[in-house]
């Protein structure tokens, strides 16, 4: 179990470093009028989260059509609303997650006849990626090396929190497996007991039947 956890630890560290130092790119998707599209993001508790979105103009150089508006709602795993905007072409949100789990960002486009397709550009960041270090580093007041050290410290803290989170999940899975094994043991024991009881009753019934018929 220790070696397995170490392997998971190393993989998680490598993945975390890759994600933290790689650039965050926005996603672009098509939304048909009258339909809803939801995007989920697994966010840890107390993690900073920011997002921004805008409707892509299908005809550059011309005003955005009035029909190209969306309704956006961001909710927590327990259904609490963190952001809501109705009939907008762009917007942004920022919050600190108080609940761990999958957060949902849902985009809805009102029905039109004939049907239209709206392209939405969406960027969602959480954790270290959500922190704008460029705004922290003011020219002439903070040395570049100090900013880099702060970024590295924040990265290490994030990886440490991720490790604790994975270890808690590992313990939860072990408890679940242990509980499932105990339940299966008692279920198997009761099944065998019932089968033996039924077999005993059948034997007793057949013996009584044959004795009455004076066969034995």
pLDDT for 136? 44
pLDDT for 21? 41
Selected from 1.20.140.10, 1.10.10.1100, 2.30.42.10, 2.60.120.680, the CATH number assigned to the domain covering 25-131 reads 2.60.120.680
Biggest CA-to-CA distance, the chain: 111
pLDDT for 14? 47
pLDDT at 210 over 70: yes
Q: Determine contact, residues 107/31, Cβ cutoff 8 Å.
A: yes
pLDDT for 216? 62
- Kindly report the backbone phi and psi dihedral angles of residue 13, in degrees, each rounded to the nearest multiple of 5, phi listed first: -65, -45
User: Mean pLDDT highest for which of 52-56, 131-135, 160-164, 206-210?
Assistant: 52-56
Region of 28 (left: φ > 0; alpha: ψ -120 to 50; beta: rest) is beta
Q: Determine contact, residues 49/96, Cβ cutoff 8 Å.
A: yes
Nearest to 17 by CA among 167, 164, 170, 162: 162
pTM score: 0.53
**Token duo for residue 157:** 């803290």
Nearest to 121 by CA among 40, 49, 25, 36: 25
Long-range contacts of the stretch 192-196 (C-beta < 8 A, 24+): none
pLDDT confidence tier of residue 77, bands split at 50, 70 and 90: very high
pLDDT, tens digit, for every residue of 4-21? 545 554 545 444 544 444
Mean pLDDT, residues 48-59: 90
User: Mean pLDDT highest for which of 6-15, 27-36, 94-103?
Assistant: 27-36
pLDDT, tens digit, for every residue of 101-110? 999 999 999 9
Place of tokens 């905007």: 85
pLDDT at 194 over 80: yes
β-sheet bridge partners, residue 101:
43
Region of 123 (left: φ > 0; alpha: ψ -120 to 50; beta: rest) is beta
Q: Determine contact, residues 5/169, Cβ cutoff 8 Å.
A: no
Q: 144-212 and 2-21 are packed helices; what angle lies between their axes, rounded to 10 degrees?
A: 140
């Amino acid at each position: 179990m220790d070696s397995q956890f170490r392997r998971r630890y190393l993989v998680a560290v490598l993945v975390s470093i890759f994600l933290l130092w790689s650039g965050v790119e926005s996603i672009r998707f098509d939304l048909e009028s009258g339909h809803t599209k939801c995007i989920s993001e697994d966010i840890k508790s107390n993690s900073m989260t920011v997002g921004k979105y805008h409707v892509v103009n299908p005809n550059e150089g011309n005003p955005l059509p009035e029909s190209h508006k969306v309704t956006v709602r961001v909710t927590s795993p327990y259904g609490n609303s963190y952001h809501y905007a109705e009939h907008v072409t762009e917007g942004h949100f920022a919050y600190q997650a108080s609940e761990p789990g999958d957060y949902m960002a849902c985009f809805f486009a009102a029905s039109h006849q004939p049907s239209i397709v709206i392209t939405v550009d969406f960027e969602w960041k959480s954790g270290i990626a959500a922190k704008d270090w460029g705004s922290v580093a003011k020219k002439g007041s903070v040395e570049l090396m100090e900013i880099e050290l702060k970024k590295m410290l924040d990265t290490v803290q994030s990886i440490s929190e991720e490790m604790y989170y994975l270890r808690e999940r590992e313990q939860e899975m072990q408890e679940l497996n242990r509980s499932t094994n105990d339940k299966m043991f008692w279920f198997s024991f009761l099944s065998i007991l019932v089968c033996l009881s039924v077999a005993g009753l059948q034997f007793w019934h057949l013996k009584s039947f044959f004795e009455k018929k004076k066969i034995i």
